[in-house]
Amino acid sequence: MPIHNTSEEEIEVERQRTSPDTITDYVIEGRRIVDIQKLFKEIQNLSRHPPFNCTIADMNILTENRKGLKSSILLKCKMCNLEKYLNLFTQDESETSMDINAAAALATISTGIGFTAAEEFMAILDVPFMSPNTYQQHHEFVGEKIRETAWKAMEEAAQEESLLAKELGEVDQYNRPCITVVADGAWSKRSYNVNYDAASGVACIIGQRTGKLLFLGIRNKYCSFCAYASAKNMEVIPDHTCYKNWSNTSTSMESDIIVEGFRKSIDMYNIIYKRLVGDGDSSVYKKLIEARPYGSLHVEKIECRNHLLRNFCSKLREISSKFIHH
């Protein structure tokens, strides 16, 4: 089974041009993903071309131009020397059709696999994948889109909570809404050979009235790109958005995120998280009291172990397991 050395193939536009008299078929190996409708149209467009009315059967493959999973094939007519690209994807990506490389990055995020697993998967399918660098670029692009959407949803939820609290007159002396929030965290089960210590943790703050997300934080001790670089014994780790943002203990990840959420609530939404519904983990509340996010204003704790909260927890774990393994 061929294992593609994608990083070298990325440099590509490996033009195997020979002199026009000695055109030989360039051999494309393996399989490709194509936009089937686009491919069909392209073949139709090339089926007959002027001035000699030659057909696609008169054309040879000159080279392949490939960037990750996106590929186009340069054809040359042996009758009239016409050179034309056979595009396997539409060039202008509309809202509805996502770039295949971005789609692949999104697929890794939503299935909870990383670059290495995706590369392996595609190698077995015999489809050349993308280099870690290209993957990283697309992963960042998709991640940014997800974050934008999440921020927007959180802002809307905060507005909703804010209105409801104001309607009930639950405000402080500066007319800032004082709301009740639920907070919880989770850790990744995957250990990356560090069995005693979770590599990633996620925690969130949810408005109790709306049940909607107001704050989400992630702490990572692990960055797949850094790990890849060290596994490959790279002397210099290439520039990348590093996901490693935590070097403290895994158990302190949750309280750190929740304290951050409380500290930012006024700046973000002009809301005070007045009451915290906790799941019995007193360390988070303890940290919160120490942090004094609202100065002299005391954050109250409401103990709650009902099924509603457990639902939140299991949902959160579901989300986190998808989000944090990258």
Asked if 164 is part of the footprint of Zn ion (rule: CB under 5 A), the reply reads: no
CB of 192 vs Zn ion, minimal distance in Å: 13
- Tokens representing 17 are 């041009």
Helix (H) or strand (E) holding 67, with range, is strand 59-67
Q: From the list 142, 179, 223, 324, which residue makes contact with Zn ion (rule: CB under 5 A)?
A: 223
Query: Looking at beta carbons only, is 223 or 309 nearer to Zn ion?
Result: 223
Q: Which long-range contacts (CB under 8 A, 24 or more apart) does 143-151 make?
A: 143/109, 146/109, 150/213, 150/216
CB of 245 vs Zn ion, minimal distance in Å: 10
First CA to last CA across the chain, in angstroms?
27
* Location of structure tokens 């303890």: 286
- Tokens representing 127 are 């489809």
Residues from 37 through 96 that contact Zn ion (CB under 5 A) = 54, 77, 79-80, 82
CB of 61 vs Zn ion, minimal distance in Å: 14
Query: Looking at beta carbons only, is 33 or 80 nearer to Zn ion?
Result: 80
Residues from 229 through 258 that contact Zn ion (CB under 5 A) = 242
Letters for 103-142 (x = contact with Zn ion by CB under 5 A, - = none) are: ----------------------------------------
Asked if 225 is part of the footprint of Zn ion (rule: CB under 5 A), the reply reads: yes
Rg, C-alpha atoms of the chain: 27
Rounded distance, CA 147 to CA 326, Å?
A: 15
Query: Looking at beta carbons only, is 82 or 171 nearer to Zn ion?
Result: 82
Asked if 205 is part of the footprint of Zn ion (rule: CB under 5 A), the reply reads: no
Alpha helix ranges (H) inside 96-210: 100-111, 115-125, 132-167
Rounded distance, CA 261 to CA 144, Å?
A: 20
Asked if 268 is part of the footprint of Zn ion (rule: CB under 5 A), the reply reads: no
CB of 78 vs Zn ion, minimal distance in Å: 8
The binding site for Zn ion (CB under 5 A) comprises 54, 77, 79-80, 82, 223, 225-226, 242
